[in-house]
A and B are shown apart, each in its own frame.
Chain A
C-alpha cells in the first residue's frame, strides 16, 4: 500500500481515540448511579487518557507528506467490501486533537452544572466525542456514515434531556434537519459505491474520475448533509435553537467539533471527489457563504439572549470557513482549516463562558448581567480574550484564520473578499457591544454578589487561552500540518478543466 502510511506506534492510536471513550461509557454503565463523584472522575479520567494518548498525533505526524498516516485497516464486511479503515492527514489531524481536547473541557464545565441523570450525561458525552473522532478518522465511507449518524443518538439526548425550557422543540428540529441531510448523502454514498465498482474505500475513490453529471448530482447529495451540519444559509435555523437550548457542554460540542463535521465533509469529499462540480458551484457557495457572514452578523446585533447571539456568530464565522474552502486556493483552504480549529477554540470557549454565568444566575439574558466586571474581574479578562479572538484582533488566532480566508476569497473573487471583510466589521460591532453591555454598564442587582471563577473553571478555560495566543502569535506549527495535504488537494481539484454548467444538457440526460 503506497498511498498510505500504516500506524507505526505501539498501539492503534486512532482506534484508541475512538473507542477508549466508548469503553469509558460502558464502564460508567456499571457504576451505581448514586456514586456521582466517582462517575464524574471516571469520565474525566477516560477523556484525559484519550487526550494524552492522542498527543502522538501532534508529535509524530509526518508533515512532509499528504498521505494518510497512522492508518489501520482490517476486513469488516467482506460481502460488501467494507473495511475498518482509519487514518488521518493534514485536514483531519488537528480536528481529531480538537475533539479529544473538547471532551475534557465538556466534562470539566459540566461538573456542577448537570444535576439530573448524571450517569447518562457523561455516557452521552463520551459516546458523542468518540463518534465524532470516528467521523474525522474514517477512510471507509460505510464506517464514516456509521459514525456520522451514531453521533446523533447521544447528541439528541444531550440537548433533549439536559437542555433549557424549549429543549424538546430544539432537539427534534436538530435531529430532523441533520437526518434529512444525512439520508440524502447516504443515497449519494451508495450511488458512488456502485458507480465506482463496489468500493467504499475513500482514498481509492479519490483516484477515480466521474462524469460531470454524476459529479453534480453527488455534489448536491453530499451538500445536503454538509450544508446542514456547517450550517450554511438557508438551512442554518436549527443551530440557534439547538445552541440556545443545549446544556453548556452540548453547546461546546456543537460549536467546537460537531459543526466542523460539515466543513470537513466539504474538504474531504466534495472537493477531491467532485472537482468539476465543485468548480462549477463556486459562485453558489460564495453567495451562500457571504449571505451567512453578513446576514447572521446582522442578526447577532438584534439578539437579547447571550447564547443565541453566539450561535448566530457561529453561523457567520462558519461562512468564512466555507468561503475559504471554496476559494480553491491554498490560502483560502488553509485558512479555512485553521479557522475551523480557531472557531472551535473561541466559540467553544465563549459558550463555556456563558455556561459559567448561567450556572450562577440561571439566565441567558444580556440585560440581566450588566456590570459583570466588578464582581467577576477574572471572568471579565477571560471573556475579553475570547471576544477579541472572535473579532480577529491581530495577535489572536482569529486574526490568522480570518485573514487567510479573506485573502483566499479576495484572490478568487474580489467582490466576495470585500463583502467578507464587511462581516469582520459587523463582528467587531456585535462582539464589542456585547462586551460593553455585559461588563461595563452599571452593576445589575442580580450580579452584585456573584463569586468569580473557581479553579475548575479556570483550568477548563486556560488551555483555550493558550491556544488563542499560540496560534495567534506563531501559527506555523499548525499550518505546517496542512501544506502538503492542501497542495495535493488543489492539484486534484485543478487537474480537470473548468466546465460550463449546461443546465439543458443535464436535464436532457436525466430524462434519458
Chain B
C-alpha cells in the first residue's frame, strides 16, 4: 500500500484561506492597530478570490469538488466576508469589542462555507458546516458584556447543535442504507437498487431538509433567527444573514440535486410548504417589528422562501436563479445593515425604526442609499432585487409552478409595506431626536460597493446572469 499525495489543485483556495486566517490569529498578538488586521484580512480574501480562477476539478477521492457551482458560491462568501469586514471596522470599536480574533473568526467561518460549497461527500459537508457554525456562534456572542449578545450566541449554539444532530442522523441513515457518504455513489446506489420509495431514505431526506432549513432560516425552523439577529453584533448579523444562508443553499442544492435526484418529487413536496411558509411568516411578521434588526431578520426568512423556489424548480435554470438571487441578496442586505450600523454611535443604539424618522432631512445621501436598498429588497426595478426575483420566478413558471409564483408575488407586495415603511419614516416624518452617524473610510467603501452593485446589476444584469448560467452549466 503506497501513499500518494492527493491533487491539491482544487483545494488551493481553502488552503490559502486557512493560512491567512492562522497568520491573522498570530499577527493579532503583535499588531496593536486592529485596522491593519481588517485591512490584511480584506487583502487576504481578495488574494484567495484570485486563486479561484485557476482551480477546478475533483480531489481527495471524490470528496471535494471545485466546479462552477462552488466557485460562484465562494464568490458570494468572499463578497460577504469583505463587506462584513468593511462595515465592522468602526462598529466593533464603538461596541468596545475591538479584538483581532474577530477577523480571523470571520475568515474561519468563510472557510467553513467554502468547504460546504465544495463538499461532494457528506462527511466533508459536515466538517465545513461545523467549522462555519462554531466560528459564527462565537461571533454572535462577541459583545461579551451585552446580555442580548450572550443570549444570541447561546440560542444560536443550542439550535445549531440540534440542526447538526439532525444532519448527522440523516447522514447515518443514508450511510446505513447505501454504505457510502459520497453524493454520487449514493445516487447510483439508490437508482441501482430501486430505493426510491424506501421509508428510511425519505426519513433521511426529511432530516436533511430540517438541518438545512435551520441553516437557511426557513419556516418552521426559523425560531432562532430573530433573536440571534437582534442580539448579535450588527456586523455579524449582516454576515450571518448572507453567508451561512448561502452556504446552506449551496449544500442543499448539491445534496438534493445529486444524492436525492431520484426522489425529486418527494423533496419538492417537502420544500414547497417550507418556501410558502417562509414567505408568509417572514413577510407578515416583519410588519409587526419595531426593531430594524428583527425586521431584517424576518425579511431574511422571507428571502429564503424566494430563493427556495429556485431549488424547488430542480433544474439548472432554477439553481442559477437561486444563485443569482443569493448574490444580489448579499449586496442589498449587507448594504441595508451597513446603514443600520452607521446609525449606531456612542451611546445611541439606532435600532428602533423610529430612529429613522426624518433621516432624509438630516442625512439626505444616507437616506437615499437606504431607499435604494429598501426598494431593492422589495424587488422593484430598476434595482437588483427585481432581477433576482425575476430570474427565480421565470425558472419557476417555466417548470410549471405558476401558482407558486403568484403566491410569491403576492407576498412580495406585502413585503413592500414594511420595507417602504422605513422609506416613509425617513422621508415623510420629521426628525424627533438628533441622529448622528458614524462614518469611516471603510464603511463608505462598503456603501459605495453595495449601492453601485445593486444599481448596476439592476440595469445591466447580463454580467451576473451570464456568469450564473456559465457556472451552473457543468453541474
Contact = CB atoms under 8 A, between A and B. Distances in A.
Interface of A: 33, 76-80, 117, 120, 145-146, 149-150, 152-153, 156-157, 160-161, 167-168, 171-172, 175-176, 179-180, 183-184, 186-187, 190-191, 193-194
Nearest to B396: A190
Q: Which 7 A-B pairs have the closest CB atoms?
A: A183-B409, A146-B381, A160-B428, A79-B465, A179-B413, A180-B413, A149-B381
Given A79-B465, A79-B466, A156 B406 contact: no
B417 interface: yes
Nearest to B399: A194
B27 interface: no
B364 interface: yes
A156 to B, nearest CB: 7
A76 B394 contact: no
Contact of A156 (B360, B423, B461): B423
B12 interface: no
22 contacts: A33-B364, A78-B466, A79-B465, A79-B466, A117-B361, A145-B381, A146-B381, A150-B382, A153-B380, A161-B427, A161-B428, A167-B428, A168-B424, A171-B428, A172-B417, A175-B420, A176-B417, A180-B413, A183-B410, A183-B413, A187-B402, A190-B394
A183 B469 CA distance: 25
Residue from A77, A152, A153, A171 having most chain B Cβ neighbours under 10 A: A153
A130 B375 CA distance: 19
Interface string B374-395: 0100001110001000100110
Contacts of A172: 417, 420, 424
B397 A179 contact: no
Contact of B393 (A150, A153, A190): A190
A75 B273 CA distance: 39
A52 B292 CA distance: 47
Contact of A191 (B402, B424, B465): B402
Interface in B341-368: 360-361, 364
A76 B405 CA distance: 25
Nearest to B425: A168
Nearest to B391: A80
Contacts of B416: 175-176, 179
Given A79-B465, A176-B417, A187 B406 contact: yes
Contacts of A186: 390, 393, 409
A161 B423 CA distance: 10
Contacts of B371: 153
B407 to A, nearest CB: 10
Contacts of B423: 156-157
A171 B428 CA distance: 10
Contacts of B398: 194
Interface in B121-166: none
Given A156-B423, A160-B428, A190 B360 contact: no
A32 to B, nearest CB: 12
Interface string B439-473: 00000000000000000000011100110010000
B397 A187 contact: yes
Contacts, number: 86
A193 B398 CA distance: 10
Nearest to A193: B394
Contact of A117 (B360, B393, B397, B410): B360
A203 B148 CA distance: 59
B412 interface: yes
A152 B380 contact: yes
A149 B380 contact: yes
A120 B462 contact: no
Contacts of B417: 172, 176
A79 B469 contact: yes
A77 B462 contact: yes
Contacts of A183: 409-410, 412-413
Contacts of B364: 33, 120
A160 B425 CA distance: 10
B394 A194 contact: yes
A150 B459 CA distance: 11
B383 to A, nearest CB: 9
Interface string B404-438: 01100110110011001001100110000000000
Nearest to B429: A168
B406 A184 contact: yes
A190 B375 CA distance: 21
A175 B415 CA distance: 12
Given A146-B382, A187-B402, A190-B405, A176 B462 contact: no
A167 B460 CA distance: 34
A191 B397 contact: yes
A150 B380 contact: yes
Contacts of B390: 186, 190
Contacts of A153: 371, 375, 380
Given A79-B465, A191-B402, A160 B424 contact: yes
Nearest to A142: B390
A78 B460 CA distance: 11
A179 B405 CA distance: 15
Nearest to B406: A187
A176 B413 contact: yes
Contacts of B406: 184, 187
A180 B413 CA distance: 6
A371 B371 CA distance: 45
Contacts of B461: 77
Contact of A187 (B382, B409, B428): B409
Contacts of B381: 145-146, 149-150
A175 B428 CA distance: 15
Nearest to A78: B462
B172 to A, nearest CB: 42
Nearest to A148: B381
Nearest to A146: B381
A428 to B, nearest CB: 39
Contacts of A171: 424, 428
A72 B355 CA distance: 47
B380 A157 contact: no
B462 A79 contact: yes
B371 to A, nearest CB: 8
Contact of B397 (A150, A184, A194): A194
A192 to B, nearest CB: 10
Nearest to B459: A146
Contacts of A152: 380
A179 B419 CA distance: 13
A150 B381 CA distance: 5
Residue from A76, A79, A175, A193 having most chain B Cβ neighbours under 10 A: A79
Contacts of A167: 428
Contacts of A191: 397, 402
B382 A184 contact: no
Contacts of A160: 424, 427-428
